[in-house]
Structures are given as structure tokens and as C-alpha cells.
Structure 1
Amino acid sequence: MTDNSLRSVTVERTGTGQFVATNTRGGTVGFGTGSGPDGEAGFTPVELLLAAIGGCTAVDVDVATSRHAEPTRFSVAVSGNKINDEHGNRMTDLTVTFSVTFPDGEGAERARAIVPRAVKTSHDRLCTVSRTIEIGTPVTAIVEEA
């Protein structure tokens, strides 16, 4: 592994059931139990996982298509079922659905033709998030002594 391969975030508690994740570039995203102390509709960790799955392939598809034409609609719906079975809590039946349209004009036909191949290539090889989930990677949990 090289120094360039390491990815990390820090998660800090901000209140009861509320957290903020910070990346190495200083970006932040808040999440928690889904309803904060003021009743806001924040993201849960599962919803962030779904967003990461869809977002990873969305970035790949956008890079491949937008150089030919700017989309008029670019939407990705990600869903799955949360279950509890002999393996514990987990998500099943994960589905990523792309809805991308381009205006008429130069490059639009090429961009439309690229979408299916770009989605497949991202899913099969490029998207680190969905590839990690599908292949299955062990997660090690460590508790440091205070």
C-alpha cells in the first residue's frame, strides 16, 4: 500500500445520537439517528451508505458523459431493504437506478450512448464503494484505552 491509497475520516459526537464526519480536506457531513434534538431530518448511517453507493457511480458516469454534453437531468435513486437475520442487521436487494437525459444538440447523442457503458464500467470495476460491498471486506473494530 502506498501513502496515496489511505482514505480516512474522523467521526465526532456532537450531541445525543448526532455526529459529524470530517475528511482530511476539511469537508464535513452531519448524520445520526435520523432525527436530531430539534427534530431535523438528518441522514442516518444507512442513508449515507446508499448515497455513497449512488454517488460513486454518479461521479464516474458524469465524468464520462458531461465532456460530450451537459445533462438536463441527472438523478440516481438508490434503495435496498434493511433486514435482521442470522447475520444481524444488514441491507439486501440494493438497487441503483440512473435517470439521465441530455438536450438535443452536439454531443448529446454520444453522451446518451455512453451512459449504459459508463454505469456498467463503474459498477464492474471503478466504483470503490459498491466494489467493496459486493466483494465483501472485513471491518476491524478497535477500542483504544482511555
Structure 2
Amino acid sequence: MKTKELDLAYKLSHALDESANTVSANTAERLASARKIALSRKKQGVAVPAFVPQPALASYGSALTPSHSRWAWLGRMGLALPLAALVFGLFAIYQFEQQQQIMDSASIDAEVLTDDLPISAYLDHGFDAFLAKGDK
């Protein structure tokens, strides 16, 4: 279907080009004056401000060469890379804190198991006060 439309457009264009050469001088003058009138009535274009975001590597302008276009992905990663670094950092901090908590628990368990006091002494509320006084 597209080829039929293109063929018709080509035939119309060719027919108009041929008939343009056979237009009388009077008709050509009337067409020229009608064109001038139409152009004078045409509304002048109003400049509308528009925001056009620029890529991070906009300093290269529109003359990006192939050597610069291989770095274009860096401009698109302007938000993704810091976000990924933040997520990775938070995960690392969480893992470090978990490891510290495990080490502290293991240290307390080792001290309890190697001490001569019975476990019931550690459960006594007065024993906590005794330990607090012993640290000072």
C-alpha cells in the first residue's frame, strides 16, 4: 500500500512540475500576488521559552565525535551511579555493624563461659550495679 501512495505522489509531483512551465504570465502574476498577500497575513512567529535539558557532557556541543560518544553513557548515569554508591555504602555499613554486634556477643559469651561465676549471678540485677562500680 505504501508503494502505491509513493507512486501516486511521484506522478502528481511530476505532473505539477510539467504544468508549472505552461502557466501563462497573467496566471503566474496572480499566483505571485496571492502568495504575497498570504505571507503578509501570516502571523509572525512568537518565541516561546522552552526548557531543553542538556546532557552532562554538553561542553562538547553538537560536534560530538565518535571518540566522545563512547563516553556519552557517563552522562546518562549522572544519577544512577551516585545512587548505586549510596546503596552500596549503606549495605556495607549495615554489614559492618552486624559483624561488630556478632563479635561483641561472642566476646561476652566467651567471658561468661571462661569465668568462675555461675550463670545465675549474671542474671542478678545487683550484679549489673556491681559491674558498673567496678569499672570506675
Q: Same fold (TM over 0.5)?
A: no
| Larger of the two Rg values belongs to structure | 2
What interval of TM-score do these two structures reach, taking the shorter chain for normalisation?
A: under 0.3
TM-score by length of 1: 0.20
The higher relative CO (CA closer than 8 Å, separation ≥ 6) is in 1
Q: Which has the higher helix share?
A: 2
Q: TM-score, normalising length from structure 2?
A: 0.21
